[in-house]
Amino acid sequence: MRRSKRYQANKNLVEKSKLYAIDEAVKILQAAGKAKFDESVEMHCRLNVKPEKTEQQVRGNVDLPHGSGKTAKVAVFSDSSDDLEAARKAGAEIIGGESLIEEIRNKRKLGFGVAVATPEIMPKLAKIAKILGPKGLMPSPKTETVTKNVKKTVEDLKKGKITFKSDNGGNIHVIIGKVSFKQEQLIENYQEMLKSLKKSKPASVKGALVNSITLSTTMGPGIKLRIS
C-alpha cells in the first residue's frame, strides 16, 4: 500500500523500536495531526488472552473523563413503550422491540454503534445474536448495556461512556479522544481506559492482561507505549 508524503514524514517522527511514555507519545501525535479534519486518537491493545476461550473474553465499559469526541449512535431494544420513549428522549437514534429485531434479522443492516436492551427482551435477541455478536454489539451485563434504566444508560453513552470488547484476535481497539483535545485530556482518558481494562482481567488469565499498547491517529503511524 502506497503511503502519502505526509504519512511518511510523520513516520519519521517515531522511532520504531522505542517504547514511549504517554505524554511524549501524545505530543508526537498532536504534532503529526495535520489532516484537514479533526483526527481521532486510537488506542490499540494486544492482550495476553486465548481468544478461543470464552472465559477469557474481555469486555467492559469506561467513562472517559473528557469523552471520546465521538457520539455513539445508540439502539435500544425493549418491549416496553415507556422504556422506548424514555430512550428516545435521552437521545437514542434507534428504538424498537420484536419488529426491530425482525427488521435486523431480515435486512442484516444495523446503523448503530452500541446496543442497549432491557433484561426481558434479551431472550428474543438470540435471533440476531450472530449478526450483533461478531461486531461486538450484543448487549451484555458486563458492559452495563443490559439494563432496567435505559434512560440513564443512553445518557451516559451520549456523555462519553464507551464499551469495549476483545476481538477474535485477542485485541481491543477504542477511540480515546481527538487530536484537538488538550494534552492532559488525552492522557487522562488514556489512563482511565487502561485502568478499566486492567479491572476487566479474566480470572483465568495468568500474568499481566495487556501485552502491548499502540497509539495512533486516524491517518498517522502507530506509537508503541511503555505500559506503567
Residue 4 located in a structural domain:
no
Is residue 8 one of the residues assigned to a domain?
Answer: no
Is 11's pLDDT higher than 80? no
Mean pLDDT of the chain: 91
Q: Is residue 6 part of a domain?
A: no
Calculate mean pLDDT across residues 8-22.
77
All 3 cell numbers of residue 48?
495476553
Domain end residue (candidates: 112, 137, 159): 159
Q: Per-residue pLDDT tens for 163-210?
A: 898 988 999 999 999 999 999 999 999 999 999 999 999 999 999 999
Q: How far is the C-alpha of 201 from the C-alpha of 175, rounded, in Å?
A: 20
What was the pLDDT predicted at 5?
54
Q: In this structure, what CATH number is given to the domain that contains residue 86?
A: 3.40.50.790
Determine what percent of the chain falls in helix, strand and coil, rounding each to the nearest 5. Answer: 40, 20, 40
Give the C-alpha separation, 6 to 10, whole Å: 6
> 131 and 96 share a domain?
yes
Does 5 fall in a domain? Answer: no
Domain count, the chain: 2
pLDDT at res. 8? 52
Question: Residue 184 contacts by C-beta under 8 Å, 6 or more apart in sequence?
Answer: none
Alpha carbons 226 and 25: distance in angstroms, whole number: 10
Task: Assess whether 99 and 85 both reside in one domain.
Answer: yes
Q: What residue numbers bound the domain in which 88 lies?
A: 74-159
Overall average pLDDT of the 21-25 stretch: 95
Q: What are phi and psi of 62, to 5 degrees?
A: -150, 140
Express each pLDDT in 104-136 by its tens digit: 999 998 999 999 999 999 999 999 999 998 888
**Which has more pLDDT, 14 or 74?**
74
> How many CB atoms sit inside 10 A of residue 96's CB?
18
